[in-house]
Amino acid sequence: MKSHTKYLVFHTRKRREYINITNEIERELEISGIQEGLAFISAMHITAGVYINDAENGFISDLDEMLESIAPFGKNYNHHRTGEDNGDAHLKSILTHNQVILPVTKRRLDLGPWQQIYYAEFDGRRSKRLIIKIIGE
């Protein structure tokens, strides 16, 4: 079994941003030389998400609106008693989930035609890490 690990760092200008990372993952897969297996992608922070969906700005704003309607920024969360102001970001991370697996077949990410991988930053403006780990043969 082969394994390849890479860390990406994001430092967004805005509190919330949605960043397409599909190309970065494809590059790591090429470096890994793995032909068959699984690529695991996860945020390493608890105020960010990773999901698979459309590279379409209308959808991205729909997603942001849905997350805000369920877990709005600025609400008086219990978590804020610690001095933090990012209670919404923790809940948004739960709702989107913070990790995905991508299948690798014949050296390629085996995705459908519209599947793009996104890093969803919910509490940005500081450095946050993401891990890519590809295993297979």
Select 37 or 124, whichever has its Cβ closest to its own copies.
37
How crowded is residue 94: how many other Cβ atoms within 10 Å of its Cβ?
12
CA proximity to 47, closest of 132, 134, 133, 125: 125
Single-letter residue type at 127 = S
DSSP string computed for 31-67: HHT--SEEEEEEESSSSEEEEEE---HHHHHHHHHHH
6 binds its own copies (CB under 8 A): no
* Smallest gap from residue 64 Cβ to its own copies (A): 9
96 binds its own copies (CB under 8 A): yes
Binding site for its own copies (CB under 8 A): 1, 3, 5, 36-38, 40, 42-46, 51-54, 56-59, 61-63, 65-66, 70-71, 77-82, 87, 90-91, 93-101, 103, 105, 110-112, 114-115, 129, 131, 133, 135-137
